[in-house]
Amino acid sequence: MAIGVRGIRAAACMIGLAGVVAAAGCSSGGGGSTSSAATPKAADKATGSPIVVASIIGPQQPADDQAGINSAVNDINAHGGVGGHPLRVIYCNDNGDANTAAACARSAIANKSVVAAVSDDTNYGSAVDPILTQAGIAMIGGVAFTTADFTSKNFFSYQAGNFEVAGEAAIAADQLHAKKIFMPYLDIPAGSSLPPLINATLAPRGQKLAGSLAIPVTATDLSSYVAKVQQAHPDAIITALTTDLAGRFVQTARQEGIQTPIFVLGGVYDPSTIQSQLGGAATNLYVASRLNLSSPAFQQMSDDLTTYQPSYKKRNTQILSEWGGVQLFAYVAAHAGKISRTSVLNTANHVTGWQYKGLTPPVNFTTPQTALGGTIPRMVNLTVYGYKWNSSKLAPIGGLVNLFSK
């Protein structure tokens, strides 16, 4: 059974699966571009030689990715760096192309000063991971999307990654006690693999989907699709659509008088996005997040953004994810002794109990994952958090939810 999902994080981005998990690239113009994060003036407090890392990102949410990474780097550097050494990030955008992603990876390993990849956000792990692994470079804090990500011994993800969509179902069942969960999903070949994933999440809860419906990418009037969903009389609706389609689905449902709880993903939907896109249609709206948006870590990330990027108003899970990846790398680097590719990789392999200010449950990279029959051995954290939209903020509706166990 092919299981997995690429988080729906941008209006043009589509889901894709193959093997355990795969991803479809989202094209956004331009060739592969490489840039360096500017060292902030506050980094003067970290006076040693820089610790250089690479980050391969895609065209889905590059601004969010860099906002999260840069704000963490700036704050770490402003407070002495890692052992007195400032962090420096070299970015490369895969531009939705596997060959470009591979070129980004080759560029990283060719730069002898690069000691690790950090907070990667690329769909093309199958192209990137083998190159990094052969060079002995750890990928720390990246978002796992592909089979290669889930199985690579050099990939150290601390979160549920693109299983966030399965979190919608787990939260609906565990915290809303929904018994009839319906999923509209994107009508692309990979979309048909989503119901098995959701049913694998619901199986330990003694449930399965009440139904699912494919919606074409090109659909304009969603009223007929909303009517078909409502015919199943669901008590919760989980969306696996592009951001644009999910927003229009919610708006159409509310216009038709349907007040059933509807779930969207925290990777895109933060308060500013909900208010600007959905407005008054955001009634009975729920958000699944792979990270704890009520944690001191989230507050620190928000403060870092306010300090170092005051014009950046979004505060979504994707930004938090990238920010947290830098924190994880800083922890590893601080315990690695003399910094090198080898010492960083070896130290990452021995991380136990890492928990940054409530961002996640304690992470342990020494224990294999056993969920789904052990088919995702390197995914060590399969938990999510649920939130309900309450006028102007996301309010937590319960504690931690495990995706594949009740």
Which domains, from first to last, does the chain contain? 31-160+295-366 (3.40.50.2300), 163-289+386-402 (3.40.50.2300)
The reported pLDDT for the residue numbered 23 is: 29
Query: pLDDT for 166-202, tens place per residue?
Result: 999 999 999 999 999 999 999 987 678 889 999 999 9
Share of the chain above pLDDT 70, in %: 89
> For residue 295, what are the β-bridge partners?
none
The reported pLDDT for the residue numbered 28 is: 30
The reported pLDDT for the residue numbered 162 is: 82
The amino acid occupying position 353 is: G
Question: pLDDT higher for 92 or 370?
Answer: 92
The reported pLDDT for the residue numbered 205 is: 96
Q: How far, in Å, are 107, 130, 131 from residue 103 at the CA level? A: 6, 12, 10
Confidence band of 398 (pLDDT split at 50, 70, 90): confident
Please choose, from the candidates 73, 65, 72, 89, the residue with its C-alpha nearest in 3D space to the C-alpha of residue 142. Answer: 65
The reported pLDDT for the residue numbered 32 is: 53
Check whether 273 has a pLDDT greater than 60.
yes
Kindly state the DSSP code that residue 181 receives in the 8-state scheme.
E
**Mean pLDDT for the stretch of residues 229-236:** 97
Check whether 153 has a pLDDT greater than 70.
yes
Query: pLDDT for 10-52, tens place per residue?
Result: 322 333 333 332 222 232 333 454 444 433 444 357 888 999 9
Query: pLDDT for 102-140, tens place per residue?
Result: 999 999 999 999 999 999 999 899 999 999 999 999 999
Query: pLDDT for 318-374, tens place per residue?
Result: 999 999 999 999 999 999 999 999 999 999 999 999 999 999 999 999 988 888 888
Please choose, from the candidates 141, 71, 152, 153, the residue with its C-alpha nearest in 3D space to the C-alpha of residue 331. Answer: 141
